[in-house]
Amino acid sequence: MATLTAQALGLVDSQTRSVVLPIYPATTYLRDTDNQYCSGHVYSRDDNPTYKPVESLLCKLEKGEDALLFGSGMAAAVAVFQALRPGDHVIAPKVMYWSLRNWLLGFATDWGLQVSLVDCTDTEAVARAIIPNKTRLVWLETPANPMWTLSDIGAISQLCKPHQITLAVDSTCATPVLSQPLTLGADIVMHSATKYLNGHSDVIAGALITAQDTPLWQRIRTIRRAGGAVMSPFDASQLSRGMRTLVIRVQQACRNAVAIAEALQQHPLVTHVHYPGLLSGEALALAQRQMPGGYGAMLSVQVRGGEAAAIATAAHTKLWKRATSLGGVESLIEHRASIEGQGTPVPNDLLRLSTGIEDADELLADFIQALEAGHDV
Ligand SMILES: *Cc1c(COP(=O)(O)O)cnc(C)c1O
């Protein structure tokens, strides 16, 4: 994977021998005298040659058959639900990426989708929520924002198969470096490529990768093309560049997260650290099986003193940047309940940390001084 990503699949531009892929800004392509398009390219809302190398690389990393880039992670996720039909039933996690949860409850239901939010960390609960001949999609996010609990992709795929239910997994926080959902039985993987794939907090992008070219996949393709959920060619090129360092970025961020999670678990001003590597029993066994590459670089910390202490802690950090989003080279900290607002299932004393690739000791020292300053210690 390190070789595939560092060399962007080893592709070289055939015309110029450029080792970096060219950007194709053209919106339209020349028609042949016989009225055909020998290049296969017609118009850039349909497709853009700048996407192809990135899509091929994502296919390879996720071990899929086909991939599509989208203008954002949300555009990619929403395309999967829009490809369903009115009356279809979908199962999604109770605790998941907040904007998608809001879209499911606020828009998808208006269009006739029946949405059940289920505790997807409990495979039995998913089994009970399936309605034969009506449930068409199970959507998982693992590890899930912002509690970093895991769902068992393999076991849930076994539940889905006999009912021909599509299993889609938001694998944004795992990245293909740590986990490959398609190899565990998922049908579609979704990434907010804005996060780890690009890794530099300078591109909004999304991707879907499918295990098989199915009628549903063709509908998703049509949604991107006809609905215009496309990415700019320049952003595709930026993403291609960002992905060259994916493996070392993710590995370093994971090492930092492990060190910080373990240290904070011992701190008297911390009541709970949420991190897949700190789970125990069955849950830890699942984390080891499902994330053989590492436990990720996202963690959440509940601090003593409630909401005020959490917000004060975030306000006193210097290295950790107080901003939303995740998966960049720089470490970010966020009080999630503030951004999620009314109805959030997230505890109000919780801080979400996106660990970057800086020096782990410096990150830890900064967090601890902020924790103490936030508590007037
Ligand atoms: C950011 C994010 C999304 C949405 O992606 P955008 O690129 O912001 O549209 C979806 N799922 C998860 C887990 C995310 O972190």
Tens-place pLDDT, residues 181-234: 999 999 999 999 999 999 999 999 999 999 999 999 999 999 999 999 999 999
- CB of 354 shorter than 6 A to ligand 1: no
Task: Return the SS3 of 62.
Answer: helix
- CB of 195 shorter than 6 A to ligand 1: yes
Which of 245, 266, 371, 267 has the alpha carbon at shortest distance from 311? 371
Our answer to whether residue 97 is catalytic in this structure is yes
Contact partners, residue 50, CB within 8 Å, separation at least 6:
21, 22, 23, 24, 233, 236, 237
Local confidence band at 150 (pLDDT 50, 70, 90 cut-offs): very high
Looking at residue 308, what is its pLDDT?
95
Which residue, by CA, sits nearest to atom 8 of ligand 1? 73
How far from 188 is each of 54, 102, 208, CA to CA, in Å?
17, 21, 7
How far from 376 is each of 42, 119, 268, 371, 373, CA to CA, in Å?
63, 38, 14, 9, 5
Looking at residue 335, what is its pLDDT?
95
Local confidence band at 269 (pLDDT 50, 70, 90 cut-offs): very high
Distance 241 CA to ligand 1 centre (A): 20
Parallel/antiparallel/unpaired status of strands 166-170 and 188-192: parallel
Q: What is the mean pLDDT of residues 95-107?
A: 95
- CB of 74 shorter than 6 A to ligand 1: yes
Looking at residue 355, what is its pLDDT?
98
Our answer to whether residue 134 is catalytic in this structure is no
pLDDT in tens, 20-67: 989 999 999 999 999 999 999 999 999 999 999 999 999 999 999 999
Looking at residue 344, what is its pLDDT?
85
Distance 64 CA to ligand 1 centre (A): 21
- For residue 144, give the ligand 1 atom closest to its CA: 13
